[in-house]
């Protein structure tokens, strides 16, 4: 990988929302660390500095009391005694006369340093300190003037304090540096990991846009938010693939099922053209041609109605419908058709239930079921319709016809699907598709059962 490619990838990585979010988190975390270390510094070095100042103040107060009780000689004696005991040089004393003459202490001369509100900071060296070993140390002291104009300097070696302050400063610097470095590295790692997951989604999307609808977004099985997103997208892609396959299936079926009536219509028109001299024959050809055209229009109208229902073209029905009255009207309409085939038509309507629905759509769905039952039930067969009450309202239509094989009971609800042995029967294969669309619009469900012999169609709908 060349430097140009690396630069492009790094730039892309730095522009990701994950890295920017990590950068914000890094800033907040670094600020928190800085505040924490600052508090530690204040609680340690600051506390030691305040303790040093309080010790100096207390020692000056004690020497002032000695001067008041014992006078000049007593103060000099106390200073010399304390100097002798202070072998490590941690305490610093200098007592001079009004004209600056040395009187007592372990400093040889007054240090050349600025006095700020009585406090003075200076370094020990051979000019001001008595012989001692070690490096130059910083001293913090306070100057006190006696009643006679003499000056007393009391100080403390703050070398240990400076070491603590330096240690805390180094810890603060390194801590901030390590925090920023780790946060930056963590941001790069998280951004790279997130970018890989997103890139896998983008790559799958590009392959799908090229036409490979079978592609799916890979998952890790971790159950994290990316896996949940991938699973939802995969479910959506599967639904899209099913719909696209359905569109292709419907297109093929339209071409297959409408080719025959269109061919018959064309033949009728040709026949009519060839019999223009015979008005009776021409009129019969016109009637048959109109019948074929009506069948084709019925097919397209059924397709349009199913598409409108499934696409939300109908508002969810909210009118109360009595299933007992609905079934009674449908039975009355189709009873004569059943009598022509000497079929027994039985309706058990002792139970009455009300649902929220569209009466016209429900009547159309029930009419399709009764029409199929009469069509596929042989002469002197038996058809029964009844209502049941349970957790939901249940409408059942049973017949003693040829039935539907169990392996094909789900497929018959697809558009244009017809059982092979029924291809010769008049129809377009849209009846049960329309029934299913209407039932689902009413938040119900439909399924087929074996009636032994024949078929039983069950509709389950929620109560009003």
Q: What is the DSSP string of 67-79?
A: HHHHHHHHHHHHH
Spacing of C-alpha 101 from chain mean position: 83
Residues present in the chain in total: 464
Residue 107 per-residue DSSP state: B
HSE-up of 38 (CA within 13 Å, CB side)?
6
pLDDT at residue 422 in the model: 47
Ranges 42-56, 281-295, 446-460, most confident: 446-460
Choose between 172 and 12: higher pLDDT.
Answer: 172
Confidence of residue 320 (pLDDT cuts 50, 70, 90): confident
Lowest mean pLDDT among 8-12, 110-114, 381-385: 8-12
Report whether 368 contacts 434 (CB < 8 A): yes
pLDDT at residue 150 in the model: 86
Choose between 426 and 182: higher pLDDT.
Answer: 182
DSSP 388-457: E-SSSEEEEEEE-S----GGGTTGGGSTT---GGGTTSS--S-HHHHHHHHHHHTT-EEEEEE-SSSEEE
Statement: the pTM of the whole predicted model exceeds 0.75:
no
The per-residue b/e assignment along 358-376, b for 16 or more CB within 10 angstroms, e otherwise, is beebbbbbbbbbbbbbbbb
Instruction: Kindly tell me if the per-residue pLDDT of 156 is higher than 80.
Output: yes
Q: Can you tell me the distance from the alpha carbon of 283 to that of 271, in angstroms, rounded to the nearest whole number?
A: 11
What is the mean predicted confidence (pLDDT) over 124-147? 69
Lowest mean pLDDT among 28-37, 241-250, 404-413: 241-250
Cα Dmax for the chain: 159
What is the mean predicted confidence (pLDDT) over 356-381? 86
Alpha helices in 275-427 (DSSP H): 279-310, 323-340, 359-376
pLDDT at residue 439 in the model: 85
What is the mean predicted confidence (pLDDT) over 69-75? 84
Instruction: Kindly tell me if the per-residue pLDDT of 132 is higher than 60.
Output: no
pLDDT at residue 415 in the model: 66
Domains of the chain and any CATH numbers: 1-210 (no CATH), 225-310 (1.10.287.130), 319-461 (3.30.565.10)
Mean pLDDT of the chain: 78
Confidence of residue 423 (pLDDT cuts 50, 70, 90): very low
HSE-up of 164 (CA within 13 Å, CB side)?
14
Counts of helices then strands in the chain (DSSP H, E): 9, 13
Q: Can you tell me the distance from the alpha carbon of 262 to that of 271, in angstroms, rounded to the nearest whole number?
A: 14
Instruction: Name which of 186, 202, 158, 137 is nearest 21 in CA terms.
Output: 186
pLDDT at residue 8 in the model: 65
Residue 131 per-residue DSSP state: S
Spacing of C-alpha 206 from chain mean position: 22
What pLDDT digit, counting tens, does each position of 328-354 carry?
888 888 888 888 888 888 888 877 788
Q: Can you tell me the distance from the alpha carbon of 464 to that of 320, in angstroms, rounded to the nearest whole number?
A: 7
Lowest mean pLDDT among 1-5, 174-178, 392-396: 1-5
What is the mean predicted confidence (pLDDT) over 51-57? 85
pLDDT at residue 194 in the model: 75
Choose between 117 and 302: higher pLDDT.
Answer: 117
Spacing of C-alpha 1 from chain mean position: 34
Instruction: Name which of 143, 159, 35 is nearest 89 in CA terms.
Output: 159
Q: How far apart are the first and last CA of the chain?
A: 68
Contacts of 180 (CB under 8 A, 6+ apart): 26, 30
Tokens read off for 242:
């099913």
């Amino acid at each position: 990988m060349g430097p140009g490619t690396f630069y492009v990838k790094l730039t892309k990585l730095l522009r990701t929302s994950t890295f920017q979010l990590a950068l914000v988190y890094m800033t907040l975390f670094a600020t928190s660390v800085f505040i924490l270390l600052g508090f530690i510094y204040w609680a340690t070095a600051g506390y030691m500095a305040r303790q040093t100042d309080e010790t100096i103040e207390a020692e000056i107060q004690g020497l002032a009391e000695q001067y008041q009780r014992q006078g000049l000689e007593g103060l000099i004696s106390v200073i010399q005694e304390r100097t002798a005991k202070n072998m490590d040089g941690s305490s610093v004393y200098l007592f001079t006369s009004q004209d600056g003459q040395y009187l007592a202490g372990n400093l040889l001369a007054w240090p050349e340093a600025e006095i700020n509100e009585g406090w003075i900071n200076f370094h020990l060296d051979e000019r001001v300190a008595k012989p001692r070993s070690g490096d130059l140390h910083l001293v913090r002291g306070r100057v006190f003037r006696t009643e006679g104009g003499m000056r007393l300097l009391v100080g403390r070696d703050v070398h240990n304090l400076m070491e603590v302050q330096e240690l805390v400063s180094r810890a603060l610097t390194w801590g901030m540096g390590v925090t920023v470095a780790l946060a930056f590295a963590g941001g790069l790692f998280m951004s790279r990991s997130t970018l890989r997951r997103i890139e896998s989604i983008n790559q799958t999307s590009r392959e799908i846009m090229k036409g490979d609808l079978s592609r799916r977004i890979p998952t890790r099985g971790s159950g994290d938010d990316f896996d949940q997103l991938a699973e939802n997208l995969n479910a959506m892609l599967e639904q899209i693939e099913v719909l696209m396959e359905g569109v292709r299936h419907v297109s093929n079926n339209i071409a297959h099922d409408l080719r025959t009536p269109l061919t018959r219509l064309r033949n009728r028109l040709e026949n009519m053209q060839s019999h223009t001299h015979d008005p009776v024959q021409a009129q019969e050809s016109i009637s048959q041609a109109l019948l074929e055209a009506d069948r084709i229009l019925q097919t397209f109208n059924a397709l349009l109605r199913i598409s409108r229902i499934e696409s939300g073209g109908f508002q969810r029905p909210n009118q109360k419908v009595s299933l007992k009255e609905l079934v009674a009207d449908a039975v009355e309409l189709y009873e004569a058709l059943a009598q022509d085939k000497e079929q027994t038509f039985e309706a058990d309507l002792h139970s009455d239930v009300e649902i929220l629905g569209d009466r016209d759509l429900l009547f159309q769905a029930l009419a399709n079921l009764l029409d199929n039952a009469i069509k596929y039930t042989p002469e002197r067969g038996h058809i029964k319709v009844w209502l049941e009450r349970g957790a939901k309202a249940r409408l059942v239509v049973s017949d003693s016809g040829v039935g539907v094989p169990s392996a094909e009971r789900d497929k018959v609800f697809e558009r244009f699907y017809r059982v092979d042995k029924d291809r010769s029967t008049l129809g377009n294969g849209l009846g049960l598709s329309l029934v299913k669309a209407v039932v689902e619009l009413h938040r119900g469900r439909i399924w087929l059962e074996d009636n032994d012999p024949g078929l039983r169609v069950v509709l389950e709908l929620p109560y009003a």
